Structure 1
Amino acid sequence: MKFLKAVLIVFFLLSVPQLSLAEHAPSPVNELDDIADQALQLTKAGKYEEAKQLLNYFSEEFTAQSMHQSFSMDELRILTISHNLALETINQASAGIEQKVNAVTRFRLVMDALSSHYQPLWVEMEDPIMEAFKGVKTAAESGNSKQYHMELNMFLAKYNIIQPSIKLDIPVEQAQALDARISYLDHYRHQVLESTEAMAELSTLQTDLEHLFENKKEDEADPSLWWVIISTGSIIVSTLSYVGWRKYRGQGEARTSERQKN
């Protein structure tokens, strides 16, 4: 019975951090992030008018809450550009669904990078981007010019989606170096298949991209989450140790009483 009571106490203590977190209302930044996410979902569903209304609502809320005061000039510039591009693309009748989705996704990832300090959504683009780059490198190594240009265009389109978010999450020097390598491949794309130096740039860029995702995935856990885990573990160990000690003490007292009776 005592053991059951101890277990119930442990479960109660485990629920306290969750209840505490639930009591906190979402911050204005998180609310804006939710609006951006809803706009993206509507765009994917082909509901462009509703998505347009949400993008306009985002702008109104952003201004009303004076959220621009919470961001640096660079952050504000990147957010404004990505928002304007998303709204402009949504309004273009000639733009296809992929263009619209890519533009709103780009904006969504920027807002996420500004609102979350851990596990940014752009990191989840690792597989499609690395797969696209693999196609570029394979086409270049085989000397297939037509395939190379097609694969490079696909890679650039995918990288363009996460580029603004990357600038918000990594050091300026690293972002500039990465952009410089990608711009070099795009600008001198006709010479890549004929130049050993340009081919070496492909290998260097691959290494840079791998480091980009690997470094960002390191230490993604929120320190507060580790505190909860450590605290919870300590509570469990302490409780079980106490229960075990009480049980051992009770058994010892029972044996002593039995010997006294004999």
Structure 2
Amino acid sequence: MTTHTPPTPVRAIIADDERLMREQLRSRLADVWPELDIVAEAKNGLEAVALVREHRPDLVFLDIRMPGLTGVDAARQIAQLPEDEDWLVPEIVFITAYDQYAVEAFEQGVADYVLKPAERERLTLTVDRIKKRLAAKQGNDADNLSASPPLQQLLHKLSAQLNPGGKPSYLQWIQATVGQAIQMIPVEEVLFFISDEKYTRVQTARVEALIRKPIKELVDELDPALFWQIHRSTLVNAHAIDGITRDFRGRQLVGVKGHAEKLEVSRSYTHLFKGM
């Protein structure tokens, strides 16, 4: 007699700073997807990223407006978590109070959204979409998955849609490796970033950490009023600049408050320090 191993239930995390909204979504999901295993709940974006790292779920429901990290910023951090043979970056469903015009990017299919309060019919549609994408992942259906734009591209577009005509949404936190641990570092604490061919060093007054994001990407994601590019491989926190000196070769060197290292300024960026 042949026995069949029951399928592993899909594991999910809910993140919303409003307890009643978390409870309502959990209740509605129990109706439309009773076999879904909700393994944890988060009250903010930082908790959401930490819980995803801990529980490695298949699916995350993220409120767009949360303290600490917005849902979009949390999704960016989650999308950068390392994958392996047993786990891929989870599917993302945003929970939002915004009208349809603000979430048109979701229709591209990389992620999905649920308008507050979560209505049964719309949630059922979301569940159907997510099940299909999870099945495509498990079946290695590359054609189906590659038809949609990358998640990071969608998040960039979504951020712009949620802030029409407003200030750009810059990174507020850096997820970096410190020794064997992963830490969330507030960007205002970073003194400077220095890249080599493989890693970017994140230096604060207290820790030295590593990320895989190159300088050319950080330039677009960090507030240019706060972080100045002084070399093709170096960004420095303008608030941390302690002074400018020259070495025996005539090169400009930036001194950094709270750190002994001197940062070289390439010729392309010497104009930043004229008159200093």
Question: What TM-score does the superposition give when structure 2 sets the normalisation length?
Answer: 0.28
Which has the larger share of strand? 2
Larger radius of gyration: 1
Which has the larger share of helix? 1
Question: What TM-score does the superposition give when structure 1 sets the normalisation length?
Answer: 0.29
Which one has more relative contact order, counting CA pairs under 8 Å at least 6 apart? Answer: 1
